[in-house]
């Protein structure tokens, strides 16, 4: 089975322009698009996705990702099912603990208990079950016999295990290093078995941070903030250890914590690179190679051919673009990467 590639598209422009961009990605040969649910950084995900649904014919549409805190489960279920009526069989709802949508409000990310309850409640409502816990019998009037699938985004081992237990699938946000993927898969499988589920039935999408340019040096420099993000987030340390990456203890400058709204969504990427200059270049390269796709188009194509040989079947490309469309990476995939995958 050939590797399917989805592209994250920030809703960084009016919704009709987002829809036009997604339609072009369908024409190029991408399998799907993901739109983030980040109410202060992006246009509304469901408004934009409804237009995408109308302007495409076979592109898979991912809400990637929403969270349990800014929308009630019944609201999310209703919105997702509304879009699914415009694109039957093409919509996937992906729930994460919350990043830019939550932290911009000064809130803490959702706990595992909140994630469990939200995923289960959303699936229940989408299937026509009770929308509340008060016994009132309230339900989604237009629930489908083929409800939208609910996936979980997981960047740490405990979330990966929970996803295997309660979700229809997992967006594994751990990169493409074979050792990391294997360790993450073990956690998903463990969660599935604990719930009496067949691990083979849990669909996996591998998400990977990506930046494609004509220079490996420039690519690694661009990857510096993402490498620092992985270094400072405790739930990711075990993955780096699994990949054999040796990280030294480094003091974190205050400038890193002042980046708005956070490192991966920094409004000024050059400023983020300067704030993250404390990390030695050798460490940047090691982390970037373990967790991302950074480099020339040819380098990225070879990495993806290797990932396919290691069992990756679906890839979700996440560039560092939050406030503009990922034009340069899309061109590289159109001209080099997707043709190379088609030949392999």
* Segments in the chain below pLDDT 70: 1, 134-135
What is the pLDDT, as a whole number, of residue 135? 63
Q: In this predicted model, what pLDDT tens digit does every residue of 330-344 receive, in sequence order?
A: 999 999 999 999 998
Secondary structure (DSSP) of 139-182: B-TT--SSPPEEEEEESSHHHHHHHHHH-SEEEE-S-S-HHHHH
Please tell me what DSSP assigns to residue 203. Answer: E
What is the pLDDT, as a whole number, of residue 311? 92
Cis peptide bond upstream of 65, omega within 30 = yes
Whole-number Å distance between alpha carbons of 205 and 199 = 14
Residues 6+ apart with CB under 8 A from 319: 8, 209, 210, 211, 326, 329
What is the pLDDT, as a whole number, of residue 1? 67
The CATH classification number of 4-343 equals 3.20.20.30
Where do the domains of the chain lie?
Answer: 4-343
pTM for this predicted structure = 0.96
Count how many Cα atoms sit within 13 Å of the Cα of residue 182 in the half-sphere of its side chain: 7
55 within 8 A of 16, measured Cβ to Cβ: no
What is the pLDDT, as a whole number, of residue 181? 96
Whole-number Å distance between alpha carbons of 215 and 218 = 5
What is the pLDDT, as a whole number, of residue 247? 82
């Amino acid at each position: 089975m050939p590797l399917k590639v989805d592209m994250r598209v920030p809703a960084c422009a009016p919704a009709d322009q987002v829809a036009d961009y997604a339609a072009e990605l369908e024409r190029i040969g991408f399998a799907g698009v993901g739109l983030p649910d980040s109410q202060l950084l992006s246009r509304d995900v469901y408004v934009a996705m409804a237009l995408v649904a109308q302007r495409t014919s076979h592109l898979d549409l991912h809400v990637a990702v929403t969270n349990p805190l800014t929308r009630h489960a019944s609201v999310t279920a209703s919105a997702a099912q509304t879009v699914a009526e415009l694109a039957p069989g093409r919509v996937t709802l992906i729930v994460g603990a919350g990043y830019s949508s939550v932290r911009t409000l000064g809130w803490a990310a959702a706990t595992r208990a909140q994630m469990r309850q939200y995923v289960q409640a959303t699936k229940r409502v989408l299937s026509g079950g009770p929308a509340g816990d008060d016994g009132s019998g309230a339900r989604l009037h237009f629930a489908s016999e083929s409800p939208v699938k609910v996936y979980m985004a997981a960047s740490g081992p405990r979330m990966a295990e929970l996803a295997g237990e309660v979700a229809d699938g997992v967006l594994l946000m751990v990169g493409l290093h074979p050792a990391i993927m294997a360790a993450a898969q073990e956690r998903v499988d463990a969660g599935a078995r604990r719930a009496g589920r067949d691990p083979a039935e849990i669909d996996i999408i591998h998400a990977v941070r990506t930046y494609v340019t004509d220079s490996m040096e420039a690519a690694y420099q661009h990857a510096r903030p993402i490498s620092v993000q992985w270094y400072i987030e405790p739930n990711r340390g075990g993955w780096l250890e699994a990949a054999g990456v040796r990280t030294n203890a480094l003091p974190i400058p205050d400038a890193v914590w002042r980046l708005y709204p956070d490192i991966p969504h920094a409004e000024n990427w050059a400023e983020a690179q300067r704030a993250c200059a404390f990390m030695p270049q050798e460490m940047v390269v090691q982390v970037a190679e373990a967790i991302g796709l950074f480099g020339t188009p040819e380098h990225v194509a070879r990495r993806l051919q290797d990932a396919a040989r290691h069992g990756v079947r679906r890839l979700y490309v996440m560039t560092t673009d939050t406030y503009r469309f990922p034009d340069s990476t899309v061109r590289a995939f159109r001209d080099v990467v997707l043709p190379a995958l088609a030949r392999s």
